[in-house]
């Protein structure tokens, strides 16, 4: 990974720390135990359990390394009380074709469209940053251009 800042809400940071702790304190020791038991069964070249446990351990170790690097680069999104312009951490209510939708603007690692969390790096996120209530924002989408109007910023 490069030294790019990883923007997270406090909740997002907590989730990543919980995943890291779960892997380091729970999943990894469990897989190491399975690997040790499989190794004790003898011929490793024909031992499917050993191969599976070894691959799983490799995956877990890779994810632990990724999380450690990620956690070093985290910058917490603070939401000061100024709601004059859209920024990271803002919840923005938009209208599009007469329908109202609200989104929270988060860092790319925390983005989850099903949970109405969009990345500041997404086309809509980029278009919203720095905009104010009442402004119209046009975003290029696969289906064509979509025009959003900012109704509120929280």
Same domain? 10 vs 69: yes
Q: Choose the final residue of a domain: 76, 105, 134.
A: 76
Question: Any idea what DSSP says for residue 97?
Answer: T
> Domain holding 57: CATH number?
1.10.287.180
> Domain holding 140: CATH number?
3.10.50.30
Mean pLDDT over residues 115-136, rounded?
Answer: 95
- Looking at the predicted structure, is the pLDDT value of residue 107 above 70? yes
Same domain? 142 vs 99: yes
C-alpha span between 46 and 35 (Å, rounded):
14
Per DSSP, the three-state class of 122 is: coil
In a domain, 39, yes or no: yes
pLDDT band at 40 (very low <50, low <70, confident <90, very high): confident
Q: Choose the final residue of a domain: 22, 42, 76.
A: 76
Per DSSP, the three-state class of 42 is: coil
CA-nearest of 79, 75, 99 to 91 is 79
pLDDT tens-digit readout, 44-58 = 677 888 889 999 999
- Looking at the predicted structure, is the pLDDT value of residue 1 above 60? no
Same domain? 113 vs 66: no
Q: Which residue spans within 2-153 are E strands per DSSP?
A: 6-8, 74-76, 91-96, 99-106, 117-119, 136-141, 144-153
C-alpha span between 151 and 27 (Å, rounded):
45
Q: Indicate the number of domains in the chain.
A: 2
Same domain? 12 vs 59: yes
Question: Nearest-5° angle of CA 125, CA 73, CA 14?
Answer: 80
pLDDT band at 149 (very low <50, low <70, confident <90, very high): very high
Measure Cα distances from 78 to 13, 17, 52, 63 in Å.
Answer: 12, 18, 42, 27
| Domain boundaries, position 15 | 6-76
Q: Choose the final residue of a domain: 23, 44, 76.
A: 76
C-alpha span between 59 and 77 (Å, rounded):
30
Q: What is the pLDDT of residue 38?
A: 86
Q: Which residue spans within 27-143 are E strands per DSSP?
A: 74-76, 91-96, 99-106, 117-119, 136-141
In a domain, 103, yes or no: yes
C-alpha span between 48 and 46 (Å, rounded):
6
């Amino acid at each position: 990974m490069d030294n790019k800042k990883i923007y997270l809400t406090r909740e997002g940071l907590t989730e990543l720390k919980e995943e890291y702790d779960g892997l380091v304190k729970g999943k990894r020791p469990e897989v190491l135990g399975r690997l040790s038991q499989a190794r004790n069964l003898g011929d490793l070249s024909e031992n499917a359990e050993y191969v599976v446990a070894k691959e799983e351990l490799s995956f877990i170790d890779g994810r632990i390394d990724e999380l450690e690097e990620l956690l070093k680069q985290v910058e917490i999104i603070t939401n000061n009380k100024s709601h004059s312009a859209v920024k990271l951490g803002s919840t923005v209510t938009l209208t599009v074709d007469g329908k109202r939708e609200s989104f929270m603007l988060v860092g790319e690692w925390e983005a989850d469209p099903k949970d109405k969390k969009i990345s500041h790096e997404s086309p809509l996120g980029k278009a919203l940053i720095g905009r104010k209530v009442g402004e119209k924002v046009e975003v290029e989408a696969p289906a064509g251009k979509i025009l959003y109007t900012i109704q509120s910023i929280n």
